[in-house]
């Protein structure tokens, strides 16, 4: 057997005139964890989509265990033992873990057509006439009728067999979980699972199908520090059992912790594979970007101290009518970045959208410079002269119009006011595109947005980092006093991410108050002045960035009380009162 579980040789993939992968080579050994790094648009996902059967390579060869293979579909990849765990889970919320696993199991076909052909060969018509031919036709009809009834019975039996999973199937799922050290209840519904449980289910699902080559796309994006360590422990066990594992991630500290080797892609080409023990963050960043990058994040003190935003007893409902956030209170001061940490789905989205006027408030106050704006619509907030910007998590769904150009997106918030002179759009029906184009060019130049033009190309055609720069540029050009931003660097490469951090830091130095909802605790501890922690919609406490660790934040995110972590001293009382 070959030394390598996977060998990709000279893989090339193009989409029109765009070369996504250009003569890429990649090797993965059994019992190895390989990290795949690269900036947005470097071809990482495209390359893995070819290995998992979603795309076909235009050129090149794929070898699995030393044998050349043609992978034309995800089903072909599954038969070869290749499983991909996508960043966005492919699960049905109302089904149990076992249901979700069993749905993808290949069922044995009845092959009715094949059996009909066999009957035809048993009862041929050649050389027959009269009574003999009628008799042969009758025999064919009887046998085929019995086969049809058998096929119907087979379908019904399989339907009920699959509708009610047998104990043996539950046991197989539980055995896989035990063998690899997973904590999974196979009878639990997905809608009742935490994010980490859903990810565990995705891994168990591909193992159930017999996968021993695993691809994980951004596996730690929504996990706490403790959950990440648990995942890494599982991956190490899978490695010990001989699995070949490929991880796509942007988090360099995790690459250095979990991988054995690192392959770096840049502009669709493999620029190097190195042993992790010989790598560091600076070297990996330079390989990805092609030049030296300053990886330092500064959290500089400012002399501002005005309270810009004061949240008092805020309670907001989610779409199901239950409390998304409950009795939340905190202050945001000028010249500070206040981080909001929490497991995904703990009320961060509802908190931001209620402050921005996109969600109704059940109770509580949102005071902007002393004025209560709770329950006000976004247009009402703008018309009140309140200078506040909201940069949502969904850049193209809520933040920008994907089909419009950069210039047209610049005026989405101001076109109603006709150059800011008239209170109603009905009084001035013309749009000022000249100033919009000038503003767009200014944003493109200052933030180094890569785009063919500002007035023709839809923003949806730009990379994730450039889309975020356009959105952030539009908002800061309005000179906001408060910026609310949710996961501003999610899915961005390291170069784009540090550009965003730098922009937010510059706004802080100007006296702007920034509410920063993030998921990378290392970044939050370096960037934010204070960090507020949410768990199930409630504030667990607020800490100073230089008086906490990511392990302590992770404990608070999972429900451990502030006082239990930091003690009952004066510092705790001060922080809780500030939070």
Task: Report domain extents, the chain.
Answer: 4-94+195-289, 102-188, 296-387+479-579, 402-474
Q: Cα dist. 239→77, 242, 481 in Å? A: 20, 5, 50
CATH superfamily of domain region 4-94+195-289: P-loop containing nucleotide triphosphate hydrolases (3.40.50.300)
Q: Which of 63, 154, 171 is nearest to 111 (CA)?
A: 154
Instruction: Tell me the pairing of strands 32-38 and 261-266.
Output: parallel
pLDDT digits (tens, 9 = 90+) for 58-70: 999 999 999 999 9
Residue 114 token pair:
């094949």
The alpha carbon of 159 is separated from its chain's Cα centroid by a whole number of angstroms, namely: 34
Among all chains, which residue has been given the structure tokens 């239950």? 322
Contact indicator for 89, 195 with CB cutoff of 8 Å: no
Distance CA 220, CA 533 (A): 19
Beta bridge partners of 14: 19
What integer pLDDT is reported at residue 330 of this predicted model?
Answer: 95
User: Rounded to the nearest 5°, which phi and psi values hold at 512?
Assistant: -75, 140
Q: What is the largest CA-CA distance in the chain?
A: 107
User: Which three-class secondary structure state does DSSP give residue 29?
Assistant: strand
DSSP string, 64-104: ETTEEE---SHHHHHHTTEEEE-SS----TTSBHHHHHHTT
Question: What pTM was computed for the model?
Answer: 0.67
Task: Check if CATH label 3.30.200.20 holds for domain 296-387+479-579.
Answer: no
What integer pLDDT is reported at residue 417 of this predicted model?
Answer: 60
Distance CA 541, CA 530 (A): 10
pLDDT less than 70: residues of the chain? 1, 104-116, 118-119, 127, 151, 153-167, 222, 224, 293-294, 415-431, 491, 567-579
Distance CA 446, CA 427 (A): 34
Name 496's Cβ contacts closer than 8 Å, sequence gap at least 6. 39, 40, 464, 465, 466, 468, 469, 489
Distance CA 485, CA 337 (A): 11
Distance CA 563, CA 224 (A): 20
User: Which three-class secondary structure state does DSSP give residue 181?
Assistant: coil
Q: Sign of torsion, CA 37 41 43 44?
A: positive
What integer pLDDT is reported at residue 101 of this predicted model?
Answer: 85
Apex 375 CA angle, 374 and 378, nearest 5: 100
DSSP string, 197-264: HHHHHHHHHHHHTT--EEEEESTTTT--HHHHHHHHHHHHHHHHTT-EEEEE-S-HHHHHHH-SEEEE
What integer pLDDT is reported at residue 243 of this predicted model?
Answer: 92
Beta bridge partners of 543: 531
Burial 146-164 (b: 16+ CB within 10 A, else e): ebeeeeeeeeeeeeeeeee
Beta bridge partners of 307: 333
Residue 83 token pair:
């499983």
Residue 281 token pair:
């963050």
Residue 17 token pair:
């005139």
Q: Which of 282, 231, 233 is nearest to 256 (CA)?
A: 282
Among all chains, which residue has been given the structure tokens 């952030």? 472
Burial 389-425 (b: 16+ CB within 10 A, else e): bbbbbebbeebbeeeebbbbbbbeebbbbbeeeeeee
Alpha-carbon Rg for the chain in angstroms: 29
């Amino acid at each position: 057997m070959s030394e390598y579980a996977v060998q990709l040789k000279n893989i090339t993939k193009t989409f029109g005139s765009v070369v996504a992968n250009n003569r890429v080579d990649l090797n993965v050994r059994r019992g190895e964890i390989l990290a795949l790094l690269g900036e947005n648009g470097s071809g990482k996902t495209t390359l893995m989509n070819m290995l998992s059967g979603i795309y076909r390579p235009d050129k090149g060869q794929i070898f699995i265990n030393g044998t050349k293979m043609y992978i034309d579909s995800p089903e072909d990849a599954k038969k070869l033992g290749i499983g991909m765990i996508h960043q966005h889970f492919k699960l049905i919320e109302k089904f149990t873990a076992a249901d979700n696993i069993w749905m993808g199991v290949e069922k044995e076909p009845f092959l009715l057509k094949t059996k009909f052909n066999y009957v035809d060969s048993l009862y041929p018509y050649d050389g027959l006439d009269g009574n003999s031919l009628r008799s042969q036709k009758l025999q064919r009809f009887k046998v085929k009728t019995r086969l049809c009834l058998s096929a119907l019975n087979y379908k019904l039996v399989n339907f009920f067999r699959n509708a009610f999973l047998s104990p043996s199937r539950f046991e197989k799922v539980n055995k896989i979980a035990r063998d690899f050290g997973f904590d999974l209840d196979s009878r639990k519904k997905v809608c009742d699972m935490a994010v980490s449980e859903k990810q565990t289910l995705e891994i168990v699902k591909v193992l159930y199908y017999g996968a021993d080559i695993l691809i994980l796309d951004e596996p730690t994006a929504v996990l706490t520090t403790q959950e990440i360590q648990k995942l890494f422990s599982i991956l190490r066990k899978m490695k010990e059992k001989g699995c070949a594992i490929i991880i796509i991630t942007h988090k360099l500290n995790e690459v250095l912790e979990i991988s054995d080797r690192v392959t770096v892609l840049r502009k669709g080409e493999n620029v190097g594979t190195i042993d992790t023990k010989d790598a560091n963050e600076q070297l990996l960043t330079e390989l990805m970007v092609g030049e030296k990058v300053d990886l330092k994040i500064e959290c500089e003190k400012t002399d501002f101290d005005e309270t810009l935003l004061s949240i008092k007893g805020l309670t907001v409902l989610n779409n199901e009518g239950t409390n998304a956030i409950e009795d939340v209170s905190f202050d945001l001061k000028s010249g500070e970045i206040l981080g909001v940490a929490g497991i995904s789905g703990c009320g961060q989205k509802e908190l931001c959208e209620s402050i921005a006027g996109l969600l109704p408030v059940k109770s509580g106050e949102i005071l902007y410079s002393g004025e209560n704006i709770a329950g006000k619509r976004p247009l009402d907030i703008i018309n009140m002269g309140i200078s506040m910007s909201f940069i949502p998590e969904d850049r193209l769904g809520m933040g920008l119009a994907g089909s419009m150009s950069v210039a047209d997106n610049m005026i989405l918030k101001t076109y109603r006011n006709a150059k800011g002179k008239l209170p109603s759009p009905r009084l001035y029906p013309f749009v000022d595109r000249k100033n919009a184009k000038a503003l767009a060019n200014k944003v493109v130049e200052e933030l180094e947005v890569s785009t063919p033009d500002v007035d023709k190309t839809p923003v949806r055609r730009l990379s994730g980092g450039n889309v975020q720069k356009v959105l952030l540029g539009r908002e800061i050009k309005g000179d906001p006093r408060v910026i609310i931003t949710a996961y501003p660097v999610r899915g961005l490469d390291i170069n784009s991410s540090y550009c965003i951090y730098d922009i937010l830091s510059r706004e802080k130095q100007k006296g702007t108050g920034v509410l920063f909802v993030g998921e990378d605790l290392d970044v939050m501890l370096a960037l934010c002045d204070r960090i507020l922690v949410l768990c199930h919609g409630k504030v667990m406490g607020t800490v100073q960035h230089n008086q906490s660790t990511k392990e302590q934040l992770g404990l608070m995110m999972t429900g451990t009380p502030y006082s239990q972590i930091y003690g009952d001293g004066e510092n705790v009382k001060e922080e809780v009162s500030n939070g």
